[in-house]
Structure 1
C-alpha cells in the first residue's frame, strides 16, 4: 500500500469538485441550476419533474484507505444557515453529500427534513453515516437520490 499525503488545499479542492459534480449531474438531467456561493447553500436548482426550487448545501469528504465508512459530521449551525438562505431565496432546503472512498464517489441528495429524520441534531453535530448497514438503508429509500461513480487509477507516478 502506498501512503497518500493529500495536498494542503485538498479539503477546499474536494468541496469545489463536489459542488461542480452536483451542478454537472443536475444540469445533465434537466435541472436549471447555479452555484450561488451563499452562506448556508451552495446551489440553487429547479427540479424539472416536480418544479420544486431547491437550495442545496453540498457536504463532501475524501477518505484515505483505512478510513472508509466514517460518518460525515454536519455542525448544527449549518441547518439554521441552510434554512435562512432557503427562506431568502424561497426554496426548499436540501443536502448533497459526496463521499470519495475506496475507488468510488458516492453521491446522496435528499431534503434537509429527510436527513434530520435519519439523524436528528445532537449536542453539537448531526451526521451522515457511511457504514454498510446505513448504505443499504439509503439504497432502499426512494426519497434519497443516489449516484455512484467507480474509478481506478491505472497509471500514476
Structure 2
C-alpha cells in the first residue's frame, strides 16, 4: 500500500479525532486545541480531573508494525498543561497491520516506561515483549480497532 504525500497530516488529524471520539464515548468533555505541546483538553463530567493530551500517530506499512515511535519532547506539553491547569498526557496511536492501537498515558508514567534517557530521544516500543510487559499496567489506558479491507480498489 502506498501512502499519499499528505498522509502524515491526514493520519495526525485522524488520530486526534479518534482520541476525541474515544474520550467522548467514555464520558469526558473534550475539545481539540491548537496549542504548542497539546492537541486535546479533556475533563471528566464532575470537572475533577482535567488533562492536556499530546497526540502522536504513526502509520506503519506491512512488516514494519513492530517499529518503535520516536516520542516528542515532553517539556512543551508540560508547559501548556501548566498554563491550562491540566495534567499532561500523551496519546500514542499506531496503525499497523490490521489493527489501530491507542495508548494513553500520563507523561510522568511515560517517562518511567519509555526507552531512552531523559534529555535524549525517547521511544515507545511496539515489540511483542514490551506490549506484553505493559498489557496490565493500570496507568496505561488503551483501546484497539481491528479492520479488514473488504473491497478497496487499487486506483492505479
Q: TM-score range by the shorter chain?
A: over 0.9
- Please, what TM-score do these two structures have when normalized by structure 2? 0.92
Whole-angstrom distance in 2 between the partners of 1:74 and 1:123: 12
Residue 140 of structure 1: CA displacement?
1.3
Corresponding residue of 1:13: 10
Corresponding residue of 1:89: 84
Query: 3-state SS of the aligned residue for 2:95?
Result: strand
Whole-angstrom distance in 2 between the partners of 1:30 and 1:83: 24
Paired residues, what number? 152
- Please, what TM-score do these two structures have when normalized by structure 1? 0.92
Which one of 42, 45, 50 corresponds to residue 45 of structure 1? 42
Whole-angstrom distance in 1 between the partners of 2:133 and 2:39: 26
Corresponding residue of 2:22: 25
Corresponding residue of 1:152: 148
Moved >4 Å (runs of 4+) = none
Residue 86 of structure 1: CA displacement?
0.4
Whole-angstrom distance in 1 between the partners of 2:44 and 2:135: 21
- Residues 1:40 and 1:121: Cα distance change in structure 2 (over 3 Å): farther
Whole-angstrom distance in 1 between the partners of 2:142 and 2:135: 7
Whole-angstrom distance in 1 between the partners of 2:76 and 2:146: 33
Corresponding residue of 2:63: 66
- Residues 1:48 and 1:144: Cα distance change in structure 2 (over 3 Å): farther
**Unaligned 5+ runs, structure 2:** none
Across the aligned residues of Structure 1 and Structure 2, the Cα RMSD in angstroms comes to 1.5
Residue 121 of structure 1: CA displacement?
3.5
Equivalent positions of 1:64-143 (< 5 A) are: 64-75=61-72, 78-119=73-114, 121-122=117-118, 124-143=120-139
**Unaligned 5+ runs, structure 1:** none
